[in-house]
Amino acid sequence: MSSPADGRRRPHLATFILAIVALLAAVALILEVIPSNYYMLLPGEALAVEPLISIQGYPQQHFKGQLFMTDVTIYKVNHKLEELYGRLNPNAELDPAQSFAGGLSESQYLQLNDELMLDSVQRAEVAALGAARGYKPHFATKGPEVAFILPNLPASRVLQVDDIILSVDGHAVTNAESVAPLIHAVKPGKKVAITVKRGKTTHTYQIRTVPSTNGVPKKNGKTPLIGILVRNRLILPVKISINHENIGGPSAGLMFALGIVERLQHRDLARGCRVAGTGAINYLGQVSAIGGARQKVIAAEHAGAQYFLVPHNPTNMRDAHAAGGNIVIKPVNSLRQALNYLHEIRRCS
C-alpha cells in the first residue's frame, strides 16, 4: 500500500523532469539561432577502388584482397547547436571556416575540391604508369591549362578556365609544376606576365600578385598569389577512367595509383587482405599529407580493413594512431614504398 508521502513525490519528480526538459529545449533553441562558422569533419566511407577503375584492354579483376580509398564527411556548421555536437562527438573535428576553406563560399569550396580530385586522378594515373613500367605518358606539346580560378583575386579579372599557359614572365612552361615557382619568384604585390592561348588567339596579361600564406590571401603573407589552379594536359599510352563517386579533394591519389598498378599487373596487391589508405600523390609517385586522417582510419575500420596506409607526416601519423582500434597503421612516403610494404605483408586467409 502506498503512503501519502509516496503519492506526493511522484508529481514533484515529474515536474522536475519536465522542467529539465524544457530548460534543455530552451538552450537548444538559443544555440540554434547563435551563428557559428566552422567546418566539421566526420568519418566517411571506405570504397573499394577496383570497381571505380576502368582501363581499356584490362578487364576488371576479382581478387580475394581489396584496396579501399577512404573519405570524410564534411559538414558546414552554421550555428552553435551544430558546433556543440561537433565538440561533444569524439570522432568529429572542427576547423574554422576561414582557415579550412580559405575564404571561399561553401559552393566554391566544393567546386575547388572537385578540381583537386580531377588533378589527383591525373597524377595517380601518371605515377601508376611509371611504377608499372613499360608505359610512358607525356605532356601535350603546349603548356598546362587553367582548371580553376579563385574568385575576387587578380587572375579572375583576366584569365579564364581552359586557358593554356604558354609562359610566365617570359619563361616557357610545359607542365603545371613549373608555373608556381615562376610566380613565387616575384615579390608579393608585384606584377607577373602570364601568356595564354585562348582558342586560336594568344594573350599576355600583367597580373598583380597578392600576399598569401598556404594558398590563402593574407595581408602579411610572404608568398605571391594570383589565384589559379593549373592542370597538366597529358597523353597517356592507355585509356584510364576513374569514377570518383562525387568525392572531392586530392587524398585518394595513392589508393587510385595502387588500384591502377594492380589492374595493369594482374596481381592481388592486398594479398587477400583488406587494405585501406589515404594520401595525395604527385607525378613521381611521392605521397604528401592530407586532412582528416583520424576520421579516415575510423571509416576503414568500419569496412573491416586490417591495414591502413597513411602519409609519413607527423600530423597525419599522430591523427591516424589517435583513432585507436586494431588496424595496422603504415606510414609511406611514396607509391614505390607502399608497393614494397604490400609485397611484404602476410597473406590473409
Could you list the pLDDT tens digit for every one of the 349 residues in the chain? Answer: 444 445 455 557 777 787 777 776 776 677 676 888 899 999 999 999 999 999 999 998 889 999 999 999 998 988 888 888 888 999 999 999 887 877 788 888 888 888 889 899 999 999 999 998 888 888 787 889 999 998 889 999 999 999 999 999 999 998 898 999 999 999 999 999 999 999 999 999 999 999 988 778 888 889 999 999 999 888 889 999 999 877 889 999 999 999 999 999 999 999 999 999 999 999 999 999 999 999 999 999 999 999 999 999 999 999 999 997 899 999 999 999 999 999 999 999 7
| CATH class assigned to 39-135+236-344 | alpha beta
What fold, for 138-231?
Pdz3 Domain (2.30.42)
Residue with cell 562527438: 89
**In the chain, what are the domain boundaries?**
4-33, 39-135+236-344, 138-231
Please tell me the pTM assigned to this model: 0.81
CB pairs under 8 A, 24+ apart, for 164-172? 164/196, 164/197, 164/198, 164/233, 165/194, 165/195, 165/196, 165/230, 166/142, 166/195, 166/196, 166/197, 166/202, 167/143, 167/193, 167/194, 167/195, 168/192, 168/193, 168/194, 168/195, 169/193, 172/143
90 closest CA partner among 346, 323, 328, 329: 323
- Please say whether the beta carbons of 256 and 122 come within 8 A: no
